[in-house]
Chain A
């Protein structure tokens, strides 16, 4: 093993630089914790202005008007658990964007911000979910809890989001 003098150690540390950490916003959906990268996050809204979309075309998405634009909002409980759920008082809409498209994520509760070294993020096991694996960045552990990190780019590729943008307002009709 190479033995480094203190001077060499300092030189190497400067060259390698501090470990790059990525910031995530942690939130709760049901009983589990999730995280989303802060890079695309624009705003956190109360879910007051949420409106339903015509079903059965939209099982997962609702809509919200933000600065005069109507945006799709993914109800994460419906996406993750497959059933509609009441909106708790702690619920919030995370406005973010992926693939150049703005989307909202309706979550049960926003918890806190955290930083994660990318090397600590592991891929999601293949059998873990039937959802498109692109919906997840991966997972990591924090205080002995496993936290799944969602991928905004993958979420904007969900059929309902694509359909929302194709029809312009979620009416199911082409503009």
Chain B
């Protein structure tokens, strides 16, 4: 598999820092530069006629943020664990900060660029458009998501088990 240089064009100095987390037993990651905070779960206020994958809104430091369930966005039917985490990601869609619910935060890891591969057309049921790259971390695949594409597209996704 070749690695198009455009995929990682915004990553400097030969490696990329990502935040790893678990979702439905799989390892995923988002760009660490977008992560503003990691919060314990707090039940969001339900908003009327919200998008299917939006849980509602929450308040943080005097600001109101939409809260997205990444499980629902990836088409996972099973309910989340009792204590999911909420990542506050910046620079997504129309909202300056968006809360994203994930099952469990794992760690921050620096990925050497040469270890990050361009995704195949579809991996785990997710089209390549929604993925920035794939790597092997700890002997298991890590899917580095394109959080902007995920949140701004209405395309349904069904995560494969």
Say yes or no: A148-B49 contact (C-beta < 8 A), given A122-B63, A125-B65, A127-B94. no
Cα–Cα distance between A31 and B45 once the two chains are bound (Å): 10
In the complex the two chains form, is B93's CB within 8 Å of A127's CB?
Answer: yes
Docked complex: B24-76 residues within 8 A CB-CB of A: 45-51, 54, 56-57, 59, 63-66, 68
Assess whether A80 is interfacial by the CB under 8 Å rule: yes
CB-based contact A31/B46 at 8 Å: yes
How far apart sit A19 and B65, CA to CA, in the bound complex (Å)?
Answer: 27
Interface size on A, residues (CB 8 A): 22
Inter-chain contact B59/A128, CB cutoff 8 Å: no
In the bound complex, how far is the Cα of B56 from the Cα of A59, in angstroms? 24
Q: How far is the CB of A136 from chain B (nearest CB, A)?
A: 9
A128 adjacent to B66 (CB under 8 Å) = yes
Cβ of B151 within 8 Å of any chain A Cβ, yes or no, is: yes
* Docked complex: B75-133 residues within 8 A CB-CB of A: 93-95, 98
A122, B64: Cβ atoms closer than 8 Å:
yes
Q: Which residues of A come within 8 Å of B, CB atoms?
A: 29-32, 79-82, 122, 124-131, 139, 141, 145-146, 148
16 contacts between A and B (CB under 8 A): A30-B46, A32-B48, A79-B49, A124-B47, A125-B57, A125-B95, A127-B50, A127-B66, A127-B94, A128-B56, A128-B57, A129-B49, A129-B50, A130-B51, A131-B49, A146-B57
B interface vs A, CB < 8 Å? 45-51, 54, 56-57, 59, 63-66, 68, 93-95, 98, 151
